[in-house]
Structure formats: structure tokens, C-alpha cells
Structure 1
């Protein structure tokens, strides 16, 4: 008998859990004086798109790549936004608070890997958002696992 280790996507609760996370997160963003201006023009479907992104990152279905344009599309959404360190910090704070609020798994193994991606991804987004950012050589959505970073650059 072989025990298979669930993906982070499965452990989190799949698409439904990630949709709850992003809905709660963007509810907080809309009410945050530091972040609301960045997302002022976000469409009503933005939380759903981010949930699909996270699903693919956490080794769920490759829906973001198939339906949204993959890494290149996500990167284009951040280009030129000049995200500042205090905005990135708040983004992380609100994401972690939303994870608590919606009941994402609180076990240390999941939260450690989740926080690692949130930190890594938000720092890459901030770097890629700067006016002088060099184009990324990454072509695929990062695939995050238990205690491991996705290879390649972002």
C-alpha cells in the first residue's frame, strides 16, 4: 500500500477553499487605505482569477494557464504598478488574516509552505512591478510544494 502525499491544493480544500480565501482577502483590500487604490479598477471576477492562480501554484488543475494565459498574463497584470514595500507588507498581512478568517488549515506544515509562497510571490510581484524591471525568463506558473520553492526565476 502506498500512501500518497496530498498536494497543497488538496490540503487547503481545493478550489472552494481558495475562492473563499480570495473573496475574503479582496473584501479586506477594498477597505484598506493603502491597498484599495492599487485595486480600484479590479473587476468583480478578480478574486476568482486569483483563486485559480493559487490553485495552479499549489499543484491543482492548470486552469489559469489554460484559461487566463498563464504566467505571462499574470506578469502583465503587475508590470508598471511600482508596488512599494509597505504595500507588499500589507498585502501579506491581509492574505494571512484572510487565511485565518476562512479557516485554511492551520497545521504548521501547511502554514509554513503557504506563508513561504505568499512571501516569495509577493516579493517577486513587487520586483516585477517596478518600472525598470527586466523581463522575467520564467514561462510557466510556479508549482509550489511542501517545503520547496519552484525552480526558475519569476
Structure 2
């Protein structure tokens, strides 16, 4: 049976470590610090719950924070630029490499695919005049190709 991206990545502890480390770096980043100047201390935990759920983990974000509609609403009116979006992805991937997030091609293809899609959605939702979305399903991300494991064809 193919594990979820959540399990392959190392579950809640690995996702939390990634986002705690990443958001500590965001505070010092000249491009991203202004975007996250008002970030609450709980922000990394909220994003970790979101990413965990999207990658097949427990539905913690939906249960505690309101799911996709809530996350989408958090981006409204923020006017995120392409430079900020790109830097967010770049710094998150640098952090993933540094803390040992799995680097196998199949996982990274799915991981980067989600970061690109999700960050581009954040830009779209943050544009001036965008109306809040109604209720909708939580995004669910999975493997593009099943993970390669030695001994498999």
C-alpha cells in the first residue's frame, strides 16, 4: 500500500519542524518579513495542520480552523506579489533541504507541485477586489507517481 505524502514526509513532527524552522527564517527575510509582520506565534502550527491535512493526515485544520474557506479568507486583500510568492516557495524548499525532508524525486515532485499550486492560489486570492470563496472541499494532494523503493521494478 502506498503511504500518504503526510506519512512519507514523517507525519506531524516533520511537518511541524519544517514550518517552525521556515517561519523563523521568514521573520529575517527581506522579501517575506513585511508580508508576515503581523504573524501570530501560532501561525506555523496552523500552516502545519493545513499542510498535514492536504497531504493525507488528520483533518485537524478543518476541525479547528474551518477548512479551505478559512484558509482562502486569510489571503484576501493581502496583494501578494509574484516576487513574494516565488521567495516563499524558494525559502521553504531551502528549509526542507536543510532539515532533511525526503529528497526522493517522486516525493519532491508532489511536494513542489503543491507549493507551486498553493502559492499561486494565494496570489489569486490576495488580489484586490477578490470576493471570499464559499464553502468548498479541502484540497487533497497525492503522489504524481508512486514512490520508488529499491527492489521494485
State the TM-score, normalizing by the size of structure 1: 0.90
Residue 33 of structure 2 is aligned to residue 32 of structure 1: no
Cα distance, 1:9 vs structure 2? 0.2
Counterpart CA distance in 1 for 2:39 and 2:130 is 23
Cα distance, 1:102 vs structure 2? 1.4
Match of 2:143 in 1: 146
Counterpart CA distance in 2 for 1:136 and 1:100 is 34
Counterpart CA distance in 1 for 2:124 and 2:134 is 14
Match of 1:65 in 2: 62
Counterpart CA distance in 2 for 1:137 and 1:67 is 18
Match of 2:114 in 1: 117
Equivalent residue pairs, number: 145
Match of 2:148 in 1: none
Which of 37, 48, 51 in structure 2 is aligned with 1:51?
48
Match of 1:92 in 2: 89
Counterpart CA distance in 2 for 1:74 and 1:137 is 11
Give the unaligned 5+ runs of structure 2.
146-153
Deviation beyond 6 Å, 4+ runs, structure 1: none
Counterpart CA distance in 1 for 2:135 and 2:116 is 18
Counterpart CA distance in 1 for 2:113 and 2:48 is 17
Counterpart CA distance in 2 for 1:117 and 1:138 is 21
